[in-house]
Amino acid sequence: MERHNRRMDFKPLITLLAIVNPLAIVPFFIHYTQGFSREQRVKTIWISAFSAFMVIGTSALLGLKILDFFSISLASFQVGGGMLLLISSLNMLNAQPAEAKPASHELEDGAAKAAMGASIAVVPLTIPLLTGPATISTVVIYADRAKTYWQLATLVGYGAVIALATAMAFALAGPIARVLGKTGINVMTRLMGLILAALAVEVMAEGLHKLFPALGR
């Protein structure tokens, strides 16, 4: 039992895969890089993947220290983070990327940057499409549950898995788009949204129970 407690389960990885959901970003990647050479496309893939890993890894290692610096309780952060996850899940249920902001012009700005030859690997591909507030909140919440350095290292390792999944999805963007099509990608995004909605409620419930213990009676 003690050995089991030293390990971090796969729930953080499942949650991160649901939020980041590289498959949902494939159409944007194809759109932004349609005029790119093969070298430019490969460079964009690796920069996006590495940037996603850095966001997750930095959040895991420094997130709790930032909360302490601003004197923010984890319970309050769980409620706020859970709300962000719930909003992200609603986006996904509407077949939109989890971190997308419907009222913003980030997607149009990304297309304009690509047209001018500027790098779109970090903005908008990595931030906000792949990783954003919901991703960062999730990593910080699970970092608090890490009781050993091994568990924290595992959480950072999950960031590497997300980066690899992102690189693979982008590298195979053409075949994925042909096989799944827009409908298939939308269906998978909605399924991930359902999973994320359930996890969001769980995170909020845990935070509310810490803030208001009477709710658990």
Does residue 5 form part of some domain? no
Is 137 contained in some domain?
A: yes
Q: CA–CA separation, 82 vs 201, rounded Å?
A: 7
Domain count, the chain: 1
Domain-embedded: residue 149: yes
CA distance 173 to 64: 35
Residue 104: inside a domain: yes
Q: DSSP 3-state assignment of 50?
A: helix
Amino acid letter, 213: P
Please write the tens of the pLDDT for every residue from 33-46: 988 899 999 999 99
Host domain of residue 99: 10-216
pTM over 0.85: yes
| Position 206 pLDDT exceeds 50 | yes
Q: Averaged over 172-185, what is the pLDDT? A: 93
Predicted pLDDT of residue 56:
98
In angstroms, rounded to a whole number, what is the distance separating the alpha carbons of residues 143 and 197?
Answer: 20
Residue 4 lies in a domain: no
Residue 107 lies in a domain: yes
